[in-house]
Amino acid sequence: MENAAPIDRISNLQDELLLHILSFLPIKLAFSTTVLSRRWTPLIKLLTALHFHDESVKDEDAFFRFCSFVDTVTLSVELIKTFHLRCDSRYWRQRRRFNICNIVNNWIQTLKHHPLENLQLYSSIVNFNHTITLPPNIFTFPKLVILKLTKFRLDGKISVDLPSLKTLHLNDVYLKNHKNFNKLLYGCPVLEDLIAHVFYLKPEEFTVNTGQSKTLSKLIKADIYDTVVSYAAIYNVQILKLRVNMRLPEKENNSDYRSFPNLMHLELFFHSKQYFKDVATLLENCPKLQTLSIDKWIERDMFNVWNYPNYVPKCISGHLKSCTVKCDDTVVDLRIAKYILKNTPLLEDMKITIFNAMVVKYAFQELASCSILSPICKISILGQNSMPWF
């Protein structure tokens, strides 16, 4: 018994269980199991989720080995449903020298032969001149449910066929023009989750023509720049992060104006002082709003722009429970905070973030003299990294 050969119990497990075990391993380690036993070789071809990260690439040879490995795996696996690629190596920036765009394009074309459901491509390239160009048919996967792209570009006219897509995240993605982005939305009839941080290679004057805009009736969550999507198109959202550079909805512009009847969580990021004064107008059209966050990165003379409105939006008087105000100056931000404190009977917490330590005392004094309508409201004054000042 002492000299008995070790028993390979793992290889005797059922295929389904072995595949489940392999799915938890890094893809490179999973493929290395083929040297342990011939029993594992056919199982590798049955993997459906592929995750690639070039974190081990330290030199040029390692980069080519990584690319070759991705080639081998994608051509070996019988059925790919999930494909994740993270490009952090500096060698991705040498797009002309290594013909990077063709390498990535070949992988995309291979994926076309699979019932892909989840595609996520991430690049850490910041310099636009080195950005990887994706093929124009990247948006033609009929089975795709999740698509996330970060720091890529598409130079020409795109093709779109995404009837099953529910999640679309475009972070720092360059498209040819606004027309291409509208075309993309047209091809996503069941979209529920949208992040649209997109830029255009051929900038044009922004105009909203809702007669041709796609209404995203299934959309639940959106994170957008105001120059990207018509407000009328996203009217049904429940969660909205809005980065305001140009405009807020205007009642006078009926073609673009709609209320947000289901909106419950709103985050506003202001990069322009011109439309900051219209916050109350926007809130008036969010009757069910429960959570509000206002973050502004604009000129310090903003307090000369915002004035107390002569009415109280329905969401403030009836539903709002939580409010966060982030600021790098004082007066206008405290005016908004005080306005909400005075008029919100159901408010449970008010968080005010102040980055300038010199004005914390002023903030305490202003809030101490403010009447608070809600008897249960807790006020917190926070500094950088959400650390309390007291």
Contact 141, 113 (CB under 8 A): no
Q: What is the model's pLDDT at position 36?
A: 62
> For residues 10 and 138, which has the higher predicted lDDT (pLDDT)?
138
7-11, 91-95, 102-106, 376-380: least confident range? 7-11
- Residue 129 is predicted with a pLDDT of 86
Token pair of 67, please? 């690319």
Could you tell me what percent of the chain has a pLDDT over 90? Answer: 45
The pLDDT of residue 331 = 56
> Chain centroid to CA 247: how far?
21
Residue 1: pLDDT above 80?
Answer: no
Confidence of residue 255 (pLDDT cuts 50, 70, 90): very low
Better pLDDT: 304 or 292:
292
368 band by pLDDT with thresholds 50, 70 and 90: confident
Residue 275: pLDDT above 60?
no
- Is the pLDDT at 323 greater than 90? The verdict is yes
Average pLDDT over residues 8-21: 68
Is 331 or 70 the better-scoring residue by pLDDT? 70
pLDDT of 223 over the 90 cut? yes
| pLDDT tens digits, one per residue of 115-159 | 999 999 999 998 888 899 999 999 999 999 999 999 999 998 999
User: For residues 30 and 44, what is the distance between their CA atoms, to the nearest angstrom?
Assistant: 7
Cα maximum dimension of the chain:
91
Has residue 208 got a pLDDT over 50?
no
pLDDT at 272 > cutoff 70: no
pLDDT at 258 over 80: no
What pLDDT was estimated at residue 321? 96
DSSP E strands in the chain: the ranges are 49-53, 82-87, 118-123, 139-140, 146-150, 160-161, 167-175, 193-200, 221-225, 239-244, 265-270, 291-296, 322-327, 349-354, 378-382
Q: What pTM did the predictor assign?
A: 0.85
**pLDDT score of 390:** 47
Rounded to 5 degrees, what angle do the CA atoms 272, 273, 275 make?
85
Check whether 53 has a pLDDT greater than 80: yes
Average per-residue pLDDT in the chain?
83
The pLDDT score that the predictor gives to residue 18 is 72
Q: Residue 371: which residues within 8 A CB-CB, separation 6 or more?
A: 341, 342
Which has the minimum average pLDDT: 4-13, 67-76, 201-210, 350-359? Answer: 201-210
Domains of the chain: 238-248+258-390 (3.80.10)
Alpha-helical runs (H) found in 327-387: 331-343, 360-368
What's the average model confidence in pLDDT over 28-56?
78
Query: CA 50 to CA 83: how far, in whole Å?
Result: 5
Mean pLDDT for 165-182 is: 94
User: How much is the average pLDDT of 342-370?
Assistant: 86
Whether residue 211 is predicted with pLDDT greater than 50 in this model: the reply is no
Integer Cα distance of 27 and 69 in angstroms: 10
Average pLDDT of the segment spanning 51-72: 92
Average pLDDT over residues 341-346: 94
Confidence band of 32 (pLDDT split at 50, 70, 90):
confident
